[in-house]
Amino acid sequence: MKARIEVMLKDGVLDPQGEAVARALGSLGFEGVGGVRQGKLIELDLAAGDAEAARAEARRMCEALLANTVIETYRVEIVE
Amino acid sequence: MKARIEVMLKDGVLDPQGEAVARALGSLGFEGVGGVRQGKLIELDLAAGDAEAARAEARRMCEALLANTVIETYRVEIVE
């Protein structure tokens, strides 16, 4: 099974990467850019036999390693 | 309009971040983890008036700054 995991900073947590992107876009002449948030996208191939098992394993991976749940949220999607 | 941009390394381009994640998951006891690829997820608020204009502007941003199109692919999605 293939899992896609999105990890984003929680709302309200300062996102210096996103702010740097917003400033850089402005300096390149792009106007009308409001908030920019940058997160991580992780694609994993898992040996789990079915989608529910893969989802549960991916969530355990997020809690253990992939996301810092104090400041980040994550979303797991099983794509195939 | 809100745009979501996914930037991933192209297939065949070495992904040391992904490999580090795979090794770390293995050392935490997660078995059956195959390939891991890590990319960026960027959410932008754009002032563009309609979805097509927002999509075109987001693609220009990718070409100019957000993706290194030599080694990365990007995908733009307009979500609202």
Give the chain B residue whose CA is nearest to the CA of A8. Answer: B41
Residues of chain A with confidence (pLDDT) below 50: none
- pTM of the shown model: 0.93
Q: Give A57 to chain B, closest Cα distance, Å.
A: 8
CATH of domain A2-78: 3.30.1280.10
User: Do A65 and B24 make contact, defined as CB atoms within 8 angstroms?
Assistant: yes
Residues of B with CB under 8 A from a CB of A: 6-8, 18, 21, 24-25, 28, 30-48, 57, 60-61, 64-66
Sign of CA dihedral B61, B67, B70, B75: negative
Q: What backbone torsions phi and psi does residue A22 show, to the nearest 5 degrees?
A: -60, -45
Per-residue confidence (pLDDT) for residue A80, from 0 to 100? 80
Neighbouring-strand partners of residue A73: A8
pLDDT tens per residue across span B48-69: 889 999 999 999 999 999 999 9
Asked whether the ipTM of the predicted complex exceeds the cut of 0.95, the reply is: no
